[in-house]
């Protein structure tokens, strides 16, 4: 069974390992060289920031990735999100399951109107998953991210609360537990 549990300090080494895997950083905007000191500063910062939430993805008590909401903006009723899964676990349908459950959380639990994501244009697998789940392309940020000596386009995608409410009755998916304490 899949579930999302809030990140704890004991997770920082695992997160650092994942973030520095070439198969993960390939699809991220940065290519970090992290240290535990940097991780602890980041953890302290996110624990005091009401505009973000981070979870560890657990599959039968094994940590397999992370999900995060950022730029939570109650004034404008929107936020952004992303996730990554350990490369050895990819391709088992967890992306779609995460999409649907995060949609439910953002629109029902947080009561927001819009959920956005930004995806490197060459990450066709994630773009297809997001489109199949109901997110729409809102635009392309041309040559927006520079990795090495190459500029990459970023595809901005979004889904609105009403769009999700219209889709969710037609979709059969497992509910996953999302741990949620108040900040």
Please state the domain count of the chain: 1
The pTM (predicted TM-score) of the whole model is 0.93
Residue 183 pLDDT > 60, yes or no?
Answer: no
Domain range holding 74?
Answer: 2-178
Q: Domain for residue 54, yes or no?
A: yes
Residue 183 lies inside a defined structural domain of this protein? no
Q: Is the pLDDT of residue 109 over 70?
A: yes
Q: How far apart are CA 183 and CA 173, in angstroms?
A: 29
CA distances from 108 to 82, 100, 103, 111 (A): 18, 12, 8, 5
- Summarised one tens digit per residue, pLDDT across range 85-108 is 988 887 778 899 999 999 999 999
Note the pLDDT of residue 115. 98
CATH code at position 66: 3.40.630.30
The pLDDT-based confidence of 1 (bands split at 50, 70, 90) is confident
């Amino acid at each position: 069974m899949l579930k999302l549990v809030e990140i704890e300090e004991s997770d920082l080494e695992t997160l650092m390992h994942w973030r520095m895997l070439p198969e993960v950083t390939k699809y991220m905007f940065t290519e970090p060289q992290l240290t535990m000191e940097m991780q602890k500063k980041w953890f302290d910062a996110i624990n005091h920031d009401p505009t973000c939430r981070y979870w560890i993805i657990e599959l039968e008590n094994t940590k397999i990735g992370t999900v995060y909401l950022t730029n939570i903006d109650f004034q404008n009723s929107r936020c952004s999100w992303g996730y990554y899964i350990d490369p050895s676990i990819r391709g088992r349908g967890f992306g779609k399951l995460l999409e649907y459950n995060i949609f439910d959380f953002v629109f029902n639990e947080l009561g927001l109107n819009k959920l956005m994501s930004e995806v490197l244009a060459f990450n066709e697998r994630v773009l297809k998953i997001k489109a199949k789940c109901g997110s729409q392309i809102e635009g392309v940020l041309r040559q927006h991210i520079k990795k090495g000596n190459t500029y990459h386009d970023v595809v901005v995608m979004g889904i609105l609360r009403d769009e999700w409410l219209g889709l969710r009755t037609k979709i059969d998916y497992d509910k996953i537990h999302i741990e949620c304490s108040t900040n």
